[in-house]
Amino acid sequence: MDFNVCEVALHRIDQEDHSFRITTQRDKSSLLESMATIGLLVPPVLWSQPSGLTIVSGFRRIQACQRLGIQRLAARLVPADTQPLACVRMAVIENTTQRPLNLVETARAVQLVKKWIPDYSELTAELTALELPTSRALVDKLERLNRLNRDLQAAVVDGEVSLAVALETGLMSPSDQKVIWKIFSALPMSVSKQKEVVSLARDIAGRDHQTVGDVLQSDAIQTILHSDQFDRNQKTAAIRRHLRMVRYPNLSQAELQYQAALAALKLDSHMRIDPPPGFEGNLFTLSLRFRNRRDLEAAYRNLGAALENPAIDSLFPH
């Protein structure tokens, strides 16, 4: 496409219109320093409209110009009669040729294309041409990701929240999403732990007729979050433990009783007693590890002492 490269006044550019914005990046000091030193090397692409100039690509460059006090800048103007889909193609290509897109940027790009090509067969061909994902399942996930609030999207980009957990929380209210994002940004967790926290909070909320946000903003959890006595890993463990106790009070009591009994028995490192899975049933497992006869004899003596210890009865439910 032919561009009309010319100088435009900054005030003519509509910086509130983010119709074609793909990038999630904000201004960085390196960009400002570069432009302050050597100027604007790559002019942004603008679409001439009756209301002003719409940004097709170059949002960060234009913001940098404003921060540097630049009132006039070179730009590549797209004719007013250009079709919106053509502008979408330019926006996608301008971004993908600069760097790999992150998940949220990919979601925005796919959504932009889908807006103008609702038919899936035609959409697939266009996405293929633009080297964007074409799997229907992934496209659906990206569409859901695109609907999440900005804070949760940022958490996905920063790796604080997994895509799977983000999509699950995307079904919740914006206020619940915000609470979840705050916890996960404060306490980085593995995907499995994030899923556990969300699942437990959702189950408790459903049972007690609360919102997920109410559950996660309880006094107990807030006390853990703001404690100066625990590090982040300890806070994560404490929150998971608290949620399990609230969700499964009987199971939690059995776990506490079991751990107290084990501590009282003082088993050595060669011996282990495991309860029934989920404390359901009455079949316990005793494991012994030994390298030689001496280790085995020591384990035998330790087991004998444990059997004489009154705490042994506390292992088993009454």
Whether the per-residue pLDDT at 3 is higher than 80: the answer is no
The region of weakest confidence among 76-85, 242-251, 304-313 is 242-251
Structure-token match 């899975």, residue found = 277
Whether the per-residue pLDDT at 56 is higher than 80: the answer is yes
- Residue 90: what pLDDT? 93
- Residue 251: what pLDDT? 73
Give the integer Cα–Cα distance in Å for 10 and 66. Answer: 8
The stretch 138-143 carries a mean pLDDT of 91
Q: Which of 190, 222, 247 is the last residue of a domain?
A: 247
The three-state DSSP-derived secondary structure of 65-86 is: HHHCCCCEEEEEEECCCCCHHH
Q: Which of 247, 280, 295 is the last residue of a domain?
A: 247
- Residue 289: what pLDDT? 86
Give the integer Cα–Cα distance in Å for 308 and 318. Answer: 19
Give the integer Cα–Cα distance in Å for 228 and 215. Answer: 22
Q: Which of 29, 56, 83 is the last residue of a domain?
A: 83
How many domains in the chain? 3
Share of the chain above pLDDT 70, in %: 97
In a domain, 111, yes or no: no
Q: How many CB atoms lie within 10 A of CB 183?
A: 22
Residue-wise pLDDT tens digits, 88-101 = 999 999 999 888 99
More confident residue, 83 or 28: 83
In a domain, 69, yes or no: yes
- Residue 112: what pLDDT? 94
More confident residue, 203 or 152: 203
Q: How far is CA 195 from CA 51, 154, 202, in A?
A: 47, 18, 10
Give the chain's radius of gyration (CA, Å).
29
The stretch 194-210 carries a mean pLDDT of 93
In a domain, 92, yes or no: no
Q: How far is CA 297 from CA 226, 265, 274, in A?
A: 48, 18, 21
Q: What is the dihedral of CA 196, 198, 200, 203, to 10 degrees?
A: -140
Pairing of strands 52-57, 13-14: parallel
Whether the per-residue pLDDT at 27 is higher than 60: the answer is no
- Residue 15 tokens read as 């910086």
- Residue 123 tokens read as 């959409």
In a domain, 122, yes or no: no
Same domain, 235 and 181: yes
Same domain, 223 and 274: no
Structure-token match 């994560």, residue found = 236
Q: How far apart are the first and last CA of the chain?
A: 80
Domain residues for the domain of 291 are 264-315
- Residue 270: what pLDDT? 79
Give the integer Cα–Cα distance in Å for 302 and 317. Answer: 23
134 close to 124: Cβ distance less than 8 angstroms: yes
Alpha helices, DSSP H, located in the chain: 29-38, 59-67, 84-96, 103-116, 120-129, 136-146, 150-157, 163-169, 174-186, 191-208, 212-216, 219-225, 232-247, 249-265, 293-308
DSSP-based three-state secondary structure for 18 = coil
Whether the per-residue pLDDT at 2 is higher than 70: the answer is no
**CB-side neighbour CA atoms (13 Å) of 282:** 3
In a domain, 276, yes or no: yes
- Residue 196: what pLDDT? 92
Domain containing 9 — which CATH number?
A: 3.90.1530.10
- Residue 33: what pLDDT? 78
110 close to 143: Cβ distance less than 8 angstroms: yes
Same domain, 1 and 79: yes
Residue-wise pLDDT tens digits, 265-314 = 888 887 888 888 767 677 888 888 888 998 888 888 888 888 889 888 88
Burial class from Cβ neighbours inside 10 Å (0-12, 13-18, 19+) for residue 54 reads: buried
pLDDT-derived band of residue 28, with 50, 70 and 90 as boundaries? Answer: low
- Residue 317: what pLDDT? 62
As a whole number, the mean pLDDT across the chain is: 87
Share of the chain above pLDDT 90, in %: 39
